[in-house]
Structure 1
């Protein structure tokens, strides 16, 4: 009897994280919009993975590209969609379908990298401002207010103009804009959590601030961070495409979707396929992240359900 009693709590503790994850997945699957967004996102992630593997692994033949994304064919310029060129060709005779496929991993990499970097610094500053308050709160939040006073695309444009046009500088610029976004969210969540009874009890037992912050407060404010990250990736992808469209983002010959829109805008009236297909790709990927983010918000934040 004694051994049975001792084993059952252990089993419950082991099964608890798995059941919570299963519960989250069930809620996301029940939500039709998040399910649709997740399916689209998985589709794009598989495309990106196949492209990356084809570059890293010699002899990897599973690639969805039908032509080289950078090879030109001046005799086949502005070809309409056909069996050979599914999305047609651009002004240099390059296959648009293959360029969109190749550009998928570039777009996802820029969006996720910029949000991840911004989230790491934003979470750190938000925890610092929310937990310690006083002068730390004043300095960090006023700096965040200054950065947020500028529209995201204009702030990123100014930073990229100063650093130079390249993919890495686009990631740096968008990361800087994402920092205050996460800092404000984390700071507000920490203010709600830090004075709860269990945190006060842990502090009374002599726990160090680092242990309280990272082991007890941060896990309890992770839900809004996850939701904001999924939504912020969509905004970051749009901003990156906007910078490339303006000519200060990813530079040729890399086929980034925003740059493809910029290349095709001069010919869009006579050859609309140059802009239609990259535009559809951007819309679908942004829509997928937004739908998934809405589903995560409903599943992780009960207060959002009215």
Structure 2
């Protein structure tokens, strides 16, 4: 009877632990001003992307050369560009492209990098050496230059931009996961699971991976901001998303020749880009503080 009394609280604590951790994380994020502001910014742009067809006032690719370079007005809220296209509608339409490129490239890079980092940290020796040396070679190049080289080789398109950014993101996550795995795999309960005959795959993905997820989550939010900037940079250089697709970097490139006479051509896409990147960075800072067990209240 005494053993039953002792086991019940343990089971209740084990079942309630994940929920309490998520509740604790949510409360920390709500109390953190950075994450709260960043979340509000991102929710706003997510809603814009989701309801873009209802928010647009004009066809984003419809040209009207008789009304080019119009300043902001009640008819064209952000004005028109050199082809008479409504800038507001193009920014609204381009929101989902910007978020899509950033999230998908990071998701692919994180998925591959996590697996490589797990193998490198868990097995060590030859596996670790090969994976980390390849990662070092990729990280030796600045991100935008590496992506530029890959896109130049594959060709300018949306999918190739995602591929290029994904390749750059892989070593970033591989190094983070590998370092965390080196700390976790020597913990006593991992040794106990291994002694019970658990297979390596189960140990890595069911027991080690959940314990190294915190730095991955933080890095993912920050890396999305980096990927969005890199994608816009590639489009600005003319090797990313091609006109007339209303991507923010491409809009900055098309408006830079007229920025002194018609600054609204670059002002509004630039503001949108800055706000999205700021939102992800603020959210990443808040997640880092919330997931850090050593952070102060």
Q: TM class, shorter-chain normalised?
A: over 0.9
Structure 1 distance, partners of 2:181, 2:9, is 34
- Structure 2 equivalent of residue 28 of structure 1: 29
Is 1:216 aligned to 2:207, yes or no? Answer: yes
Say which SS state the counterpart of residue 93 (structure 1) adopts: coil
- Structure 1 equivalent of residue 258 of structure 2: 267
CA deviation profile, 1:122-150 (whole Å, cap 9, x unmatched): 00110010000000011000000000000
- Structure 2 equivalent of residue 290 of structure 1: 281
CA deviation after TM superposition for structure 1 residue 255, in Å:
0.2
Paired residues for 1:1-306 under 5 Å: 11-51=12-52, 54=53, 63-303=54-294
Name structure 2 gaps, 5 residues minimum.
none
CA deviation after TM superposition for structure 1 residue 10, in Å:
5.3
Say which SS state the counterpart of residue 261 (structure 2) adopts: coil
Say which SS state the counterpart of residue 51 (structure 2) adopts: helix
TM-score, with structure 1 as normaliser: 0.93
TM-score, with structure 2 as normaliser: 0.96
Name structure 1 gaps, 5 residues minimum.
55-62
- The count of residues paired between Structure 1 and Structure 2 equals 295
Say which SS state the counterpart of residue 46 (structure 1) adopts: helix
Say which SS state the counterpart of residue 238 (structure 2) adopts: coil
CA-based RMSD of the aligned residues comes to 1.7
CA deviation after TM superposition for structure 1 residue 7, in Å:
6.9
CA deviation after TM superposition for structure 1 residue 261, in Å:
0.2
Structure 2 distance, partners of 1:64, 1:27, is 33
